[in-house]
Amino acid sequence: MTAIKELKDGMTDVTVKAKVTDKSETREVYSRYGFNVHRVANATISDGTGSIKLVLWNDQIREVAVGNDIEIENGYVKTFRGELQLSVGRKNGKLIVLNKKK
């Protein structure tokens, strides 16, 4: 388990437990090659040591709500537009909602 304050650009295979404190509106973006449209939203998550943006794609957006406790397994960290972001790994990453809020 990694504390959010310890996350750095380029880290991979990251496991984090945190609470969702904010969630943006969903927007649509085109894939790198322009063939597919994907839905994306950002959530802010916090674990008491800090907070970070979590990138949510497609079905992940519906799974997560403000107030949920979540766990990210095999995530990775990158800098996007000058800000650190945590993403769920594409191949073996998992987003687990530990408690469903209504």
Residue 12 lies in a domain: yes
Residue 54 lies in a domain: yes
Confirm if 70 and 60 have CB atoms less than 8 A apart. Answer: no
Residue type present at position 55: V
What pLDDT, on the 0 to 100 scale, is given for residue 35?
79
Residue 20 lies in a domain: yes
Confirm if 17 and 45 have CB atoms less than 8 A apart. Answer: no
What pLDDT, on the 0 to 100 scale, is given for residue 66?
96
Containing 63, the helix (H) or strand (E) segment is helix 59-63
Look up residue 38 and give its two tokens: 């994907």
What pLDDT, on the 0 to 100 scale, is given for residue 102?
54
Residue 25 lies in a domain: yes
Q: How many domains is the chain built from?
A: 1
User: Domain containing 8: what range?
Assistant: 4-97
Reduced to 3 states (helix: H, G, I; strand: E, B; else coil), residue 48 is coil
Residue 102 lies in a domain: no
What pLDDT, on the 0 to 100 scale, is given for residue 87?
96
Tell me the average confidence (pLDDT) per consecutive run of 10 residues in the chain, 102 residues long: 96 96 93 82 97 95 95 96 93 90 57
Reduced to 3 states (helix: H, G, I; strand: E, B; else coil), residue 61 is helix
What pLDDT, on the 0 to 100 scale, is given for residue 88?
95
- CATH code for the domain of 18: 2.40.50.140
